[in-house]
Amino acid sequence: MSGLAVPRRFSPGDVAVTVVEAAIVALAVAYAITGTTIALLVWEGVALTYLVVGFVVTRCASLRERSHSGRTGLLDTLSWVLPLVSSVVGVSAAVSVLIARESGGAGLWQVAVGAVGIILSWVLLQTGFARVYEATQARHGDGLRFSRTGAPDFGDFLYFSFGLGTFAHSDAEVRTRDVRWIVLVHSVVSFLYNALVVAVAIEVLQQIVVRD
């Protein structure tokens, strides 16, 4: 049965997640402005910690079959900001790696740092859209329906988001217009991001082969 979710108070976990996500966004902006390797390294450290801890918490909640009612208000808005800013960081890292390789001013470790930044940005992009789907489900109810699943948890939204990000088939059913629009935006952003990353990777590999 579909219906609107009942608004709830923010839990300490919600506040902690919001603080970390805000820090990721702030560090991403700092890197986009400065373009320094140190700024990218700090951003990568915070992002990696966020992803690892988030995966463990999500997995434990899934094993205990605890559903999450989603985020509203400011937290809902941040759900949109995180994936978009993450994609910008990935693009910046990709372009920086390419420019540095062409000018000969980047060592192997700098290329590695840039590559890690691109990968983390992609993972954050998919994780951020999973938050968007979760928040939309909390607001509007039955926007996504998963096969043989009762109330979906965040792990289900991760499954759906990463499936879209890798252009894989999903058995989840999209049931509302709002979710269809999100899927459209998600698909386009993922396609453009993936195409850019592949193009940059090929270019960097060609430069390495030619110079070696």
Residue 3 included in any domain: no
Residue 182 included in any domain: yes
Residue 202 included in any domain: yes
Contact between 16 and 89 (Cβ < 8 Å):
no
Q: What is the pLDDT of residue 191?
A: 93
Residue 196 included in any domain: yes
Helix (H, G, I), strand (E, B) or coil at 152: coil
Q: What is the pLDDT of residue 87?
A: 83
- pLDDT by 10s per residue, the chain, length 212: 444 444 445 556 667 777 888 888 888 888 888 878 888 899 999 999 989 988 888 777 665 555 555 555 555 666 678 888 888 888 888 777 777 766 666 567 777 788 888 888 899 999 989 988 988 888 877 888 888 777 888 889 999 999 999 988 788 889 899 899 999 999 999 999 888 888 877 776 676 666 55
Q: What is the pLDDT of residue 6?
A: 43
Instruction: Identify the DSSP state of 200.
Output: H
Domain count, the chain: 1
Which parts of the chain are beta strand (E)? 144-145, 173-174
Contact between 193 and 87 (Cβ < 8 Å):
yes
Q: What is the pLDDT of residue 4?
A: 45
Distance CA(179)–CA(38), nearest Å, equals: 38
Residue 4 included in any domain: no
Q: What is the pLDDT of residue 102?
A: 66
Residue 1 included in any domain: no
| 196 C-beta neighbours (distance < 10 Å), count | 16
Q: What is the pLDDT of residue 75?
A: 59
Residue 127 included in any domain: yes
The boundaries of the domain holding residue 148 are 12-211
